[in-house]
Structure 1
Amino acid sequence: MEESGRDELLAAAVRMRERGDAGEARSLLLELVERYPDDPEVAYQTAWAHDVLGREAEAVPFYERAVRGGGLSTEDRCGALLGLGSTYRVLGRYPEAVATLRRAVAEFPDDGALRAFLAMALYNTGRHEEALRLTLTLLAATSEDPGVRRYRRAIEEYARDLDATV
C-alpha cells in the first residue's frame, strides 16, 4: 500500500470513529497497523478507537507506540499522552498515569485537560493535597464563572497554602 492509500484509509477510519462506527474503524485500523507497525499516527488512531470501544487494555500498547519518539503533530501528541495517561488511570495503573501525565503537562503546560487528568490521577495515588492544589489553580485560571473570577486571587492564594486561614 502506498502512502496516499494509507492516508485515505486512515482518514476514512477517523471519519468512521467520529460518526460512531468505532468497531468498523477499529477493524480498518488494525489492518493499517499490520501494514504500518511503526507509524505513530496509525498507532494513535488505533488506540483511540480501542478506547472509544471500552477496550482500554488493548489501547495501551498502541498509545505507547504512538508517543514513543516523534512523528505525531503537536495536537496528536498531546492527545495521545492524555489518552495514555487517562487509560492507565482507568486501568488502575495510577503511578504510570501520574508519570505520563506529569510528562505531558511539562511538555504542554498550557493544556488544562492534561492538568485536570493529572489531578485525578494524583487523587488516585493518595496525593489529595497536590490534586486539590492543581484543581484550584486550574479553576482560578480558566473559569468564566463570575464568582470564581471575583475571588480568583483568594483561590490562587489558598491553592498555594491549603491550610491558610487568612
Structure 2
Amino acid sequence: MQALIAERRDDDPAAIFEWASVHDFLGREAEAIPLYRRALELGLDPVRNSQAQIQLASSLRNVGETTEAVRILEGMEPDATVGDAHEAFLALALFDAGRPGDALRVALKALGKTLPVYRGAINHYADAIVDSK
C-alpha cells in the first residue's frame, strides 16, 4: 500500500485517507489520527469524508480522546455511504467517556429506527434513561 500511496501527490486527500486507514487497520491509531485530520482538511469526496470522520473518531476513542470523538460523532448526520453507523460509534465513545446512560440511549434510538412495531415504546424508554452522572 505504501508503494501505491507514493505514486500519488503529497496533498492527495484520498491517498492520505487510505494511508490513515492502513495505519488504523494495523492498530496504529495514534499514527492514523493526524493523517485522517490532514485528509479531511484537504477535502475528501463525500463517500470518504463520512468514513474518515467515523474512523478518526474511532481512533480518537481508542487512544482515550473520548471527548473529541463524541464531538465529531454528534456532529454527523446519516448519509448514503455510512447510514447511521456514526450512532454505533457514538454509543461506544459515550460509554468510554463514562456516560453509559447516554450510550444506551443512543444505541436504543438507533435500534428503534429498525423496529416496525415497537419503535415508539423503545424511543419512549430511551428518552426516560437518566445518566448516573
Q: TM-score, normalised by structure 2?
A: 0.85
**Aligned match for 1:40, one of 13, 17, 24:** 13
Question: Are the aligned partners of 2:66 and 2:97 in contact in 1 as well (CA < 8 Å)?
Answer: yes
Whole-angstrom distance in 2 between the partners of 1:132 and 1:68: 32
Q: Which runs of 5+ in 1 are unaligned?
A: 1-24, 143-147
Larger radius of gyration: 1
What do residues 72-131 of structure 1 show as CA deviations (whole Å, max 9, x unaligned)? 11110000001100011111111121122222x2xx235311111011101111122221
Distance 1:29 1:125, change over 3 A: farther
Question: Are the aligned partners of 1:29 and 1:45 in contact in 2 as well (CA < 8 Å)?
Answer: no
RMSD (Å) for aligned C-alpha atoms: 1.8
- Determine whether 1:158 maps to 2:133: no
Question: Are the aligned partners of 1:82 and 1:114 in contact in 2 as well (CA < 8 Å)?
Answer: yes
How many equivalent residue pairs? 127
- Determine whether 1:97 maps to 2:66: no
Q: Which residue of 2 aligns with 1:31?
A: 6
Question: Are the aligned partners of 1:140 and 1:155 in contact in 2 as well (CA < 8 Å)?
Answer: yes
Q: Which residue of 1 aligns with 2:51?
A: 79
- Determine whether 1:109 maps to 2:84: no
Question: Are the aligned partners of 2:94 and 2:103 in contact in 1 as well (CA < 8 Å)?
Answer: yes
Whole-angstrom distance in 2 between the partners of 1:30 and 1:39: 9
Whole-angstrom distance in 2 between the partners of 1:98 and 1:36: 32
Q: Measure how far apart 1:69 and its partner are.
A: 4.8
- Determine whether 1:139 maps to 2:111: yes
- Tell me which amino acid in the other structure corresponds to 1:68: E
| 4+ residue runs over 4 A deviation | none
- Determine whether 1:53 maps to 2:20: no
Whole-angstrom distance in 2 between the partners of 1:95 and 1:162: 21
Whole-angstrom distance in 1 between the partners of 2:42 and 2:113: 32
Q: Which runs of 5+ in 2 are unaligned?
A: none
